[in-house]
Amino acid sequence: MADILQFHRTHGPEPEPLWRELLGRSLRTAREEQGERLVDIAERAGISPQYLSEIERGRKEPSSEMIAAVTGALGVDLAHLLVEIAGDVRRLRGLGRGPAVRRRPTGPVLLAA
């Protein structure tokens, strides 16, 4: 997270990072803080180390089941992780962006059945 904040301070606002990028950073931070190896967490989660690496790098958009498996393997509370990511998004928005505004659609809206 600190690297994102530093980038914004020196280069100005950039597009918000994708949710999968923030998720990946949070998962990697949790794993590294525990001193765990990627291969060990991947094995406990029942996924390949390569796939976990791609999740951590924000390259893959994991399913909710996959996120639950990884957080379970890390012993991380999923709700806590989501609150942490939401806080990261809020902090990033505070760096030159106004609050998100929900707007009503002005044109036709396609609803999936």
pLDDT tens across the length of the chain (113 residues): 555 555 555 655 566 678 999 999 999 999 999 999 999 999 999 999 999 999 999 999 999 999 999 999 999 999 999 999 999 888 887 764 444 444 454 556 555 55
Residue 44 counted as domain residue? yes
Query: 32: domain range?
Result: 12-93
Residue 111 counted as domain residue? no
Q: How far apart are CA 78 and CA 74, in angstroms?
A: 10
Residue 62's CATH number: 1.10.260.40
What pLDDT is attached to residue 111?
A: 59
Residue 60 counted as domain residue? yes
- Enter the pTM of the model: 0.70
Tokens of 32: 């590294």
Residue 76 counted as domain residue? yes
Residue 105 counted as domain residue? no
Tokens of 20: 């999968």
Instruction: Count how many domains the chain has.
Output: 1
Residue 104 counted as domain residue? no
Tokens of 70: 């990884």
What pLDDT is attached to residue 17?
A: 75
What pLDDT is attached to residue 94?
A: 75
User: Largest Cα–Cα distance of the chain, in whole Å?
Assistant: 51
Residue 75 counted as domain residue? yes
Residue 2 counted as domain residue? no
Residues 6+ away with beta carbon under 8 Å from 15: none
